[in-house]
Structures are given as C-alpha cells and as structure tokens.
Amino acid sequence: MKLSIQREGLFKALQKISNIIASRTTLPVLANILIEAEGSKVSLTTTDLELRLTTSVDAKIEEPGKTTLPAKRLLGLVSKFKGETVSFSTNEKHHTEIKSGTASFLLLGLGPEDFPVPPEFTSQRKLKLKQVEFARIIDRISYAVSLDDSRKVLHGLFLSVKEGNLTAVATDGKRLALVEKILEEAPTGADGDIIITQKCASEAKRVLDKDGDVFIEIGERQVLFRIGATIMTSKLIEGNYPNYRQVIPANFTKKIKIPSRAFIDALEIVTVPLFDDIPCVKLTFAKGKLAFESNSANIGEGRESIDIDYADTDISVSFNSNLLSDPFKHLDIESVSLKMNDAFSPIAVESGDGFLYVIMPMRNK
C-alpha cells in the first residue's frame, strides 16, 4: 500500500473514530485502525466489538492495499506533523513508513485479516433527522441514563418512532428526561422501539456536525448511523423498556414560569456548602419569590432567591440538587415551565419545544 493524503483531513478523520479505542484490550488488533486504500479514497475503521466506526478521506493512491496501525500512535503523530501532506508506504510485513515534512517514522502494524469483520446488517426501518437536532436530543436526555441500575435496559437511550413522531427517553428511576419531535420526513418501515447504548449516543454526538442530515437505519439487533462520510454501527440493548408514561402525572395544579439562567445560577451558588454533603436543596415558592436554601452540618448554610410570577399558597419542596440542575445545564432557552401538585408528588420541567423532565422530590427535613 502506498498513498499520500492531506494532513488536516486525515487528522479530523482520525479524531472521529479513535475515541472508542480502549487503553487496554485482550485482542491486540482492537487497538489498531484498519486502513483500506482503493480508488481515490482511504477508509479508516475502528471497533470495540460493540461499536464500529468507519470514515473515508480523499487520497492520492499509488498502490492500493490495506493494513492496520496503532490508533493512538497514529493520531498522536498526525497531530504533531507540520507538513501539509502525509505519505504512507506499507510492506508485506505491515511495517508502514510514514512521512510528513521533514519527519519520518516507522510503525509496526498487524495484518488486516485479524481485524474483526462487520456483522451482517439488514435495515428494517429508516429515518432522517437534522444532525444538529439529533445532537440536541442526545444532549438533553443522556445525563439521565442509569449508571448503576441492575436493569440493563436503563443503561441506554430509548428511541420510539410512532406515526411520524420520534420520542427519546432516558431514566435512572429517580428522574426521567424526554424529548418528542415530529419528523419532517416520514420514516420508512414499521413503527417500533429500540434502546441504544449510552456510548453509542455519545459517539454519535461527537461525530454530528452543525449542518447536514443524519440517516438512521434500524436492524433487528443493530442500529446504523450515516453521518456525512462516517458510518457508525452499534449493537442494541435487548429487553423491554419500562412504561415511562406512568411516572408522568396526568394533571398539575400549579404551573410556574421559571427563568432558566437565574434559576441555575441561584441553585449553583447555594449548593457550594454542600460540596461534601448530601446534595439536598429546599425550594420555597412564595408570592413573587422563589427561595433556595441549603444546609450542611459540616460546612454551613446558604440562601438565595429569584423573582417569579407566583401568587398561589406557599409551598416548600426539597430536591437532590445534582438531579435538579442537570436539565438546566443542557437547555438553551430563556425560560421553562415548572409544574407541580404538592411537595410529595413528581414535579415536571417543560421547555415548550418538546422537552420534559420529571423528578421526584426528597422528603423535607
């Protein structure tokens, strides 16, 4: 194999696919990138056996071929090269000479025949979204995925397509984050549900751009994302997702408009004394005011308040401040609606553009 390629394009491609490479692996070839040169394109592939990422870059190919090279080493070299182009020359032992500018290196690779072949994939359903919209959906809910629940289905993001609507959900049993969106273009295939891994969602978000579309293809046990020149396939989490609709109250007696920036600023400042303590913050809704209060036996206490449009009876509600602050960190809107019934029932935060967050209060002390 012999080729030359623009350094900047190669560097961006390597950045897209190298993140899934584990620092330690029992299969040495999984630490490598599969490089395939043919025609006028170089295809770069990485996998951890659950996720597989492939992207392509234009190149000047003198001799087609394929090899595998250590991913982290190659990325490190290309990031430091000063030349505008990078040349590769691989011998029959898969030793590759890499040159750029005045720099020259020899990397010892492994045979491409040892690199895992992609599993067979048959698309059953397809849908299309704007890349920026899908990135926003992932950002708005992925923090609510369970990290320690024994139910494996809660370790991923639930995606449901029904009658042209996409619903995305994440929950850890203590709170639930949901986004609903009407698809601009009708999906093909039957309606259905899937659960994608959190790692799959995170990697998709890394590859997604501000422009263009993402094409999602769903198979029986896999999902495939086409994002520009990059293709990502991932195993799906098998199992039945819990009925998330049951935790959303059908009606609320109180609805308060909350300024997002002022709310998160007040919440963050009163949680400073809770750094090493239980993250419990009490919110008191009173006429025209929302008061924040924290108390730590080891550090001290804190109070802050913001102005709100509220004229109902006073009510105090306590929350885990970490869980309460999460959605506000991922919302890019000026205000939200906070809905509640009392200090003991689930409380909802709505954005008005399809986002819903439901959280259970803590017991007031």
Assess if residue 119 is contained within a domain: no
pLDDT for 273 equals 76
Instruction: Write out the residue range of the structural domain in which residue 175 sits.
Output: 125-244
Residue 319 has pLDDT above 60, yes or no: yes
In this structure, the number of other CB atoms found within 10 A of the CB of residue 97 comes to 14
CA dihedral 62, 68, 69, 71 (to 10 degrees): 120
Please check whether residues 129 and 239 belong to one and the same domain: yes
Residue 151 has pLDDT above 90, yes or no: no
CA 125 to CA 220: how far, in whole Å?
10
CA 270 to CA 332: how far, in whole Å?
22
Q: Is 271 exposed, middle or buried (0-12, 13-18, 19+ CB in 10 A)?
A: buried
Domain termination residue (choose one: 114, 141, 158): 114
Residue 365 has pLDDT above 60, yes or no: no
In this structure, the number of other CB atoms found within 10 A of the CB of residue 77 comes to 19
| pLDDT digits 0-9 by tens, 20-44 | 998 788 899 999 999 999 999 999 9
Confidence of residue 115 (pLDDT cuts 50, 70, 90): very high
Please check whether residues 144 and 228 belong to one and the same domain: yes
Residue 317's H or E segment, with its range, is strand 315-320
Please check whether residues 87 and 160 belong to one and the same domain: no
Assess if residue 177 is contained within a domain: yes
Encoded tokens for 224: 């495939």
Percent helix, strand, coil in the chain, to 5, is 25, 45, 30
Residue 160's H or E segment, with its range, is strand 156-162
Question: What is the model's pTM?
Answer: 0.91
Please check whether residues 37 and 148 belong to one and the same domain: no
pLDDT for 95 equals 97
Tell me what the pLDDT averaged over the chain comes to.
Answer: 94
Say how many CA atoms lie within 13 Å of 221 toward its Cβ.
5
- Token look-up 């080729």 returns 3
Residue 60 has pLDDT above 70, yes or no: yes
CA 265 to CA 288: how far, in whole Å?
18
pLDDT, average across residues 340-344: 92
Which CATH number does the domain housing residue 265 bear? 3.10.150.10
Residues 6+ apart with CB under 8 A from 162: 191
Structure letter (DSSP) for residue 30: G
Q: Is 125 exposed, middle or buried (0-12, 13-18, 19+ CB in 10 A)?
A: middle
Domain termination residue (choose one: 244, 263, 291): 244
Confidence of residue 150 (pLDDT cuts 50, 70, 90): confident
**How many structural domains are present in the chain?**
3
pLDDT for 361 equals 93
CA 307 to CA 286: how far, in whole Å?
10
pLDDT for 301 equals 84
Please check whether residues 259 and 309 belong to one and the same domain: yes
Residue 132 has pLDDT above 60, yes or no: yes
Residue 275 has pLDDT above 70, yes or no: no
CA 323 to CA 158: how far, in whole Å?
19
Of the chain, the percentage scoring pLDDT greater than 70 comes to 98
pLDDT, average across residues 92-103: 96
Please check whether residues 84 and 130 belong to one and the same domain: no
Of the chain, the percentage scoring pLDDT greater than 90 comes to 88
Assess if residue 364 is contained within a domain: no
Please check whether residues 143 and 224 belong to one and the same domain: yes
Assess if residue 120 is contained within a domain: no
Q: Is 219 exposed, middle or buried (0-12, 13-18, 19+ CB in 10 A)?
A: middle
Residues 6+ apart with CB under 8 A from 110: 28, 29, 32, 68, 94
Domain termination residue (choose one: 244, 267, 286): 244
Confidence of residue 277 (pLDDT cuts 50, 70, 90): low
Which residue would you say has higher pLDDT here, 213 or 299?
A: 213
What is the CA angle 153-159-165, rounded to 5? Answer: 155
Pair 180, 140: CB distance under 8 Å: no
Please report the sign of the dihedral spanned by the C-alpha atoms of residue 210, residue 211, residue 213, residue 214.
negative
Assess if residue 146 is contained within a domain: yes
Assess if residue 95 is contained within a domain: yes
Confidence of residue 300 (pLDDT cuts 50, 70, 90): confident
Confidence of residue 276 (pLDDT cuts 50, 70, 90): low
